[in-house]
Amino acid sequence: MARKKELEKALESGPLERLFAGNATAKILDFLSTFREFDYSESDIARYSGVSIRHAQRELPKLERLKLIKMTRISGKSKMYRMDAESQTGMTASKFGLALASIEVDSVLAKEKQKEKPLTA
């Protein structure tokens, strides 16, 4: 019996994924906006986002049409994609994800700060 290949998800869970309750498209956007300096193949996007290759193959063209991502080049037989930092929708999605992450960090820090307050008698 063939063993299922274990996914190597790059992020624990990103802000868009948490907002949209584990939505696979949000996982892809979280990954690409977090690691936006590089371009990735469909299989790398699927693996590091924690989604199936079929889902990535189905969603990447939609995200490209919406100008959230762009195909940067073809390497061998693989199309390479990255977040579209030049489009309004790509920049807005990245900023939105960062804003959500910032709110979450502020909330965690506030809770930690409250735990550290000394008790006064």
pLDDT at 7: 55
Structural domains in the chain, sorted by start: 15-102 (1.10.10.10)
Q: Is the pLDDT of residue 5 over 60?
A: no
pLDDT of 32-77, one tens digit each? 988 989 999 999 999 999 999 999 999 999 999 989 999 999 999 9
Closest Cα to residue 19, out of 89, 107, 82, 96? 96
**36 alpha carbon, distance to own chain's centre:** 10
Q: Report the percent of the chain where pLDDT is more than 90.
A: 45
Residue 39: the pLDDT is 95
Chain mean pLDDT for the chain: 84
Q: What span, in angstroms and rounded, lies between the C-alpha atoms of 107 and 45?
A: 29
Does pTM top 0.75 for this prediction?
no
Q: How far apart are the first and last CA of the chain?
A: 65
| Spatial separation of the C-alpha atoms in residues 7 and 71, rounded to whole Å | 23
